[in-house]
Amino acid sequence: MKKLMAANWKMYKTWDEARDTAKAMVRLLANSMPKDREVLLIPPFTAIRGVYDAIRDAKGFYVGGQDFYPAAEGAYTGEISPGQLLDAGCCFALAGHSERRHVLGESSELVGKKVAFGLDSGLSMILCVGETVEERKEGKLTEVVLKQLRAGLNTAARGFDPEMLVVAYEPVWAIGTGLVAGPKEILEAHKLIRKELLAMFPDIGSEIRILYGGSVKADNCGEIIALDNVDGVLVGGASLKADSFSLIVTA
């Protein structure tokens, strides 16, 4: 199973900036990309095509969308469909990022619809889950993560290739705060997620990748990526610059 090193650029970068950063990453990793790694760049919608053009000939590089609306087409002003993401060059998409759940009020039910619809449409899906600091303090880690996982996955049609589903554990308190979860916390959450994936998908649960996200940097990535059940990382701030993200990819 290849480790997935994903860069979520959130609402940063113009078309030119995104294309130039992607080109620089391809250049920096041309001779140093580890064989067991894949790089996924997730730019804002407006920059997807520019990033795709920059990475299309680079082995092991992929482009993803940060979100979509679960319908093939229609009167959904401001939204974008899985088919449009595929058309622009994406093969992955995120669903349920904590900023969508907590800033935009997205429900777990809608997140589940997105995962199911995205898989049906041919996108590989990255379902994001994670607890807030209050939930953690109240001892609700298991309850919250399992609820998000079940709501996110229970409507997905079975029979998809295990490479098409990825779960990202991103504790909300570690996102953009510089507070990275410790090995003990990451191991605990990822073990819980693996156990539930095996229960939900007995045939392929062991092959579904689980990423860690939350203040991942070049100097902590090596330790994180070596932990049991950590099959990659989902990086925000430290993925915006080609040099720092390249160091993460090779960590």
Instruction: Measure CA 155 to chain center.
Output: 19
- Residue 240's alpha-carbon distances to 17, 18, 23, 44, 108, in angstroms, are 10, 9, 13, 12, 28
Annotation says 97 is catalytic: yes
At closest approach, how far in Å is the CB of 42 from ligand 13P? Answer: 8
At closest approach, how far in Å is the CB of 67 from ligand 13P? Answer: 12
From the list 117, 22, 20, 108, the residue with the least C-alpha distance to 68 is 117
Pick from 215, 221, 224, 231 the residue near ligand 13P by CB under 6 A. 215
Q: In whole angstroms, what is the distance from residue 225 CA to residue 31 CA?
A: 21
Pick from 235, 242, 248, 249 the residue near ligand 13P by CB under 6 A. 235
The reply on whether position 213 binds ligand 13P by CB under 6 A is yes
CB-based contact 222:186 (threshold 8 Å) = no
> Active-site residue among 99, 106, 170, 196?
170
Select the residue whose beta carbon is closest to ligand 13P and give its number.
Answer: 236
Print the binding letters for residues 164-183 with ligand 13P: x by CB under 6 A, - otherwise: ------x----xx-------
Restricted to residues 88-147, the positions that interact with ligand 13P (CB under 6 A) are: 97
Q: In whole angstroms, what is the distance from residue 52 CA to residue 214 CA?
A: 25
Number of residues binding to ligand 13P, judged by CB under 6 A:
14
The reply on whether position 232 binds ligand 13P by CB under 6 A is no
Annotation says 138 is catalytic: no
From the list 162, 170, 160, the residue with the least C-alpha distance to 213 is 170
Backbone angles phi, psi at 74, to 5 degrees: 145, -175
**Burial of 73 by CB count in 10 Å (0-12 exposed, 13-18 middle, 19+ buried)?**
exposed
Pick from 214, 221, 224, 232 the residue near ligand 13P by CB under 6 A. 214
The reply on whether position 40 binds ligand 13P by CB under 6 A is no
DSSP 8-state assignment for residue 89: T
74 vs 178 by CB, closer to ligand 13P? 178
Residues belonging to the active site: 97, 170
Query: What residue ranges bind ligand 13P (CB under 6 A)?
Result: 8, 97, 170, 175-176, 213-216, 234-238
